[in-house]
């Protein structure tokens, strides 16, 4: 309707503000970050010094960079797997009919709407070494103190579990919606064919929700790889960089060590990696679907 001859300028007008914003506030910063990464810069207003790929070479030689990359993968993978597993379980539960279901559905979404800061604060309070409720329960249960943030493994586990707590509702809600679109007849047909609950799940549910599953896994994977706030607020990347992933490394380089070129290089690497995955995703699943 808008493609008519006399109204050719209209779509342009409508698109202009958003396009402008995207250009200035998204495209430009990305290009600027890439440009910054080729310079050595120690202050935000200082004069940059060209080092070409020097920042990158330095990064690739540093164990700290590879550690951050690995941590990013571990965090991303672990949170995805757990979110999907838990999300499916909760969705299946909410698909059943029982009194109070609507209330439960509301409750399950609460973690998702909370600001990251509130989540981080509340969990740090719950896990406070001496006074936290969960610490005290753990002490009573095991008879020994649990150092939640004392070892790299434990710290990563805590960060993963809190992230899962926060974002599973997204998965479970999407899944629930997908489950509701499965026609009842499919279940019936399977039941008539003698399939038990497990088989019904495997052969009716899974295939029907497969497209949603793929979307969710990819999207959440990308997002989790780049979550800054929750990890930063829980552990600052510690102990000893055990939970430091690329976003945190970028932040530390820029604002603690004032190696702005280095921070930009890490950000650029992250961006290229993500752009690659997004391109792959859009190639496999083009935007216009019937």
Partner 1 sequence: MNRRKFLHGGAAASLATVFIPKSVKAQPKLTLRMMNMETDPNTIEMLKKASTDYEAKTGIRFEIDTTQPAGAFTKLATSIKAGRPYDVANILFIGDVLILARDGGLMPLTPLIDKIGRDDFGPRILFPMDGQIWWYPYDYNFANLFYRKDLFAQQGLKEPRSYDEFLKATQACVDDPKKTGTPDRYGICLPIGSGPAANWLTFAFLWADGFKLFDDQWRVLIDSPPMKAKLVRYLTFFGELYKTMPPGMAQIGFAENLTLFASDKVAMAAYSGRMIHHLERFAPQLTDKFGMMAYPSSDGSRTGVNHGYDGWVVPKGPYSQEGYKFLEWFLTERLIDFYETLILHYQPTRWSIYDNPRWKAHPLVKKYAWSVDIMKGFLRNTVIGSIDTEGPAPDTRPGKVFEGFVFPEMVQNFVLKKLPADRCVELAAEKARKLTT
Partner 2 sequence: MSTRRVLLYVAAGAVAVYSGFPVYWMFVTSVRDPKHLFGPPALRPGPFTLEYFSALLGVTDFPRYFANSVIVAAATTLVTLVVSALMAYAVARSRSRGSRLVVLAMLYGYMLPPLLLAIPLFVMFTRVGLADTLVGLIISHLTITLPLGVWLLWGFFKNFPVELEEAALVDGCSLVGTLWRITLPLSLPGLATTGIFAFLLSWTDYTYALMMVSSDARKTVPLGLAAMMGSYDLRWGEMMAGSVIITVPLLLILAFLSRWFVGGMTAGALKG
Task: Provide the binding-site residues for partner 1, judged by CB under 8 A.
Answer: 42-46, 128-130, 135, 139, 143-151, 236, 238-240, 255-256, 258
The residue from 237, 247, 261, 262 that contacts partner 2 (CB under 8 A) is: 247
- Quick one: what does residue 53 bind among partner 1, partner 2, none, with the CB cut-off 5 to 8 Å set by partner type? none
With beta carbons less than 8 A apart as the criterion, state whether 231 and 75 touch: yes
280 binds partner 2 (CB under 8 A): no
Using DSSP, state whether 81 is helix, strand or coil: helix
**Phi/psi class of residue 52: alpha, beta or left (left: φ > 0; alpha: ψ in -120 to 50)?**
left
The residue from 250, 259, 261, 265 that contacts partner 2 (CB under 8 A) is: 250
- Pick the closer one to partner 1 by CB: 29 or 129: 129
CA angle 92, 94, 96 (to 5 degrees): 80
- Pick the closer one to partner 1 by CB: 5 or 131: 131
The residue from 95, 222, 238, 239 that contacts partner 2 (CB under 8 A) is: 222
Residue with token string 């290089």: 265
285 binds partner 2 (CB under 8 A): yes
With beta carbons less than 8 A apart as the criterion, state whether 264 and 34 touch: yes
- Quick one: what does residue 147 bind among partner 1, partner 2, none, with the CB cut-off 5 to 8 Å set by partner type? partner 1
Using DSSP, state whether 49 is helix, strand or coil: strand
Other beta carbons within 10 Å of 115: 9
Quote the crossing angle between the two packed helices 152-180 and 101-113, to the nearest 10°: 130
21 binds partner 2 (CB under 8 A): yes
With beta carbons less than 8 A apart as the criterion, state whether 155 and 204 touch: no
- Pick the closer one to partner 2 by CB: 204 or 263: 263
- Pick the closer one to partner 2 by CB: 43 or 52: 43
The site string for partner 2 over 163-182 (x = CB under 8 A, - otherwise) reads --x---xx--xx-xxx----
Residue with token string 């965090």: 75
Query: Minimum distance from CB of 160 to partner 2 (Å)?
Result: 15
Query: Minimum distance from CB of 35 to partner 1 (Å)?
Result: 18
Query: Minimum distance from CB of 250 to partner 2 (Å)?
Result: 6
Rounded-to-integer distance, Cα 90 and Cα 88, Å: 5
Query: Minimum distance from CB of 170 to partner 1 (Å)?
Result: 29
71 binds partner 2 (CB under 8 A): no
The residue from 49, 53, 117, 257 that contacts partner 2 (CB under 8 A) is: 117
Q: Which of 14, 17, 20, 51 is nearest to 36 (CA)?
A: 51
Query: Minimum distance from CB of 261 to partner 1 (Å)?
Result: 13
- Quick one: what does residue 122 bind among partner 1, partner 2, none, with the CB cut-off 5 to 8 Å set by partner type? partner 2
List own/partner pairs for 49-52 with CB under 8 A and 24 or more apart: 51/261
Q: What is the CA radius of gyration of the chain?
A: 24
Rounded-to-integer distance, Cα 100 and Cα 58, Å: 58
149 binds partner 2 (CB under 8 A): no
């Amino acid at each position: 309707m808008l493609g008519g001859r006399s109204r050719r300028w209209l779509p342009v007008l409508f698109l202009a503000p958003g396009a402008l914003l995207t250009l200035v506030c998204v495209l430009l910063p990305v290009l600027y970050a890439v440009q910054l990464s080729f310079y050595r810069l120690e202050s935000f207003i200082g004069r940059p010094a060209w080092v070409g790929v020097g920042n990158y070479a330095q990064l690739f030689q540093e164990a700290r960079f590879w550690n951050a990359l690995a941590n990013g993968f571990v965090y991303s993978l672990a949170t995805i797997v757990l979110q999907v597993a838990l999300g499916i379980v909760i969705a299946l539960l909410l698909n059943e009919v029982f009194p109070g279901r609507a209330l439960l559905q509301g409750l399950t979404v609460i973690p998702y709407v909370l600001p990251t800061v509130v989540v981080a604060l509340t969990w740090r309070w719950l896990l406070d070494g001496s006074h936290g409720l969960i610490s005290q329960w753990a002490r009573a249960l095991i008879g020994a103190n649990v150092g939640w943030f004392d070892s790299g493994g434990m710290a990563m586990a805590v960060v993963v579990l809190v992230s899962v707590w926060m974002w599973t509702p997204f998965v479970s809600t999407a899944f629930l919606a997908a489950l509701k679109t499965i026609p009842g007849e499919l279940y019936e047909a399977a039941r008539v064919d003698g399939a038990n609950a497990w088989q019904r799940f495997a052969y009716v549910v899974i295939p029907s929700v497969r497209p949603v599953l793929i979307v969710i896994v990819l999207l959440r994977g990308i997002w989790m790889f780049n979550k800054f706030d929750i990890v930063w607020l829980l552990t600052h990347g510690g102990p000893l960089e055990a939970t430091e992933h690329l976003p945190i490394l970028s932040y530390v380089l820029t604002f603690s060590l004032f190696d702005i070129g280095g921070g930009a290089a890490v950000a650029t690497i992250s961006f290229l990696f993500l752009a690659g995955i997004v391109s792959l995703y859009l190639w496999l699943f083009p935007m216009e679907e019937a």
